[in-house]
Amino acid sequence: MSTMTPADSGRHPELEAPGTGDDRTFDDQQAPGCHLLSRVRPGDVVVMIGASGSGKSALLTDVRHQAIGLDLLRSLISEPGDQTASADAVLLQHQLLTMRLSRGRTTYIDNVSSASHHRRHLVDLARAHGRRAVALWADTPVETCLRRNALRPDHLRVPEDILREQHQAIGAGAELLELLRAEGFDEILHHHGT
Q: Mean of the pLDDT values across residues 3-8? A: 28
Q: Say yes or no to pLDDT of 29 above 80.
A: no
Instruction: Decide: residue 135, CB within 10 A, 0-12 exposed, 13-18 middle, 19+ buried.
Output: buried
pLDDT in tens, 70-81: 999 999 999 988
Instruction: Please indicate, yes or no, whether the overall pTM of this predicted structure exceeds 0.95.
Output: no
**pLDDT at residue 5 is higher than 50:** no
The answer to whether 66 and 105 are in contact (CB under 8 A) is: yes
Q: What is the pLDDT of residues 32-61, one digit of tens each?
A: 555 889 999 999 999 999 999 999 999 999
Euclidean distance between CA atoms 170 and 106, whole angstroms: 24
Architecture of the domain defined by 41-192: 3-Layer(aba) Sandwich (3.40)
Flag whether pLDDT at 2 surpasses 60. no
- Whole-number Å distance between alpha carbons of 17 and 103: 32
Q: How much is the average pLDDT of 111-133?
A: 97
Domain boundaries, the chain: 41-192
Q: DSSP readout, 116-150?
A: HHHHHHHHHHHHHTT--EEEEEEE--HHHHHHHHH
Span 64-108, pLDDT tens digits: 999 999 999 999 999 988 889 999 999 999 999 999 999 999 999
The DSSP 8-state label assigned to residue 52 in this structure reads T
- Confidence label for 3 from pLDDT (cuts 50, 70 and 90): very low
Question: Helix crossing, 116-128 with 86-102: angle to 10°?
Answer: 30
Q: Per-residue pLDDT for 21 more than 70?
A: no
